[in-house]
Amino acid sequence: MSKTKTIVCFFVILVILFSSSCKKIVQSEFPDIEQKPVINGIIVQDSVIKINVSLSGKLDSNDLTFVENAVISLYVDDVLTETLYHSEEGMYISNIVAEPDKEYSCIVKIPDFDDVKCSCKIPPKTDILDVTLSNLAYIDAEGTIFPAVTIKFRNNPDTLLYYEVAIKNLRYDSYYERNDDFYASLVGIEDPVLINEGLPIAVFSNKIITGDEYTMTLNYFTMGTSWNLSHLYPIIVELRSINFEYYQYAQALYLYKKQLGNESIDGRILPLSIYSNVENGFGIFAGYSTNATDTIYPN
Q: What is the pLDDT of residues 179-205, one digit of tens each?
A: 678 999 999 999 999 999 999 999 999
Residues 6+ apart with CB under 8 A from 210: 157
Q: What is the pLDDT of residues 93-141, one digit of tens each?
A: 999 999 999 999 999 999 999 999 999 999 999 999 999 999 887 888 8
Parallel, antiparallel or unpaired: strands 203-205 and 162-169: antiparallel
227, burial (CB in 10 Å: exposed 0-12, middle 13-18, buried 19+): exposed
Residues 6+ apart with CB under 8 A from 97: 46, 47, 48, 49
More confident residue, 267 or 41: 41
CATH of domain 125-242: 2.60.40
Whether the pLDDT of residue 277 is over 90: the answer is: yes
Q: What is the pLDDT of residues 155-171, one digit of tens each?
A: 999 999 999 999 999 98
Determine the pLDDT at residue 10. Answer: 46
Determine the pLDDT at residue 260. Answer: 72
Average pLDDT over residues 149-156: 97
Whether the pLDDT of residue 2 is over 90: the answer is: no
Q: Are 222 and 232 in contact (CB under 8 A)?
A: yes
203 vs 192: CA distance, rounded Å: 13
Confidence of residue 226 (pLDDT cuts 50, 70, 90): confident
55 vs 36: CA distance, rounded Å: 6
Whether the pLDDT of residue 217 is over 90: the answer is: yes
Determine the pLDDT at residue 175. Answer: 52
Whether the pLDDT of residue 33 is over 70: the answer is: no
How much is the mean pLDDT over the chain? 85
74 vs 96: CA distance, rounded Å: 9
Which among 58, 50, 37 has a CA at the least distance from the CA of 110? 37
34 vs 18: CA distance, rounded Å: 40
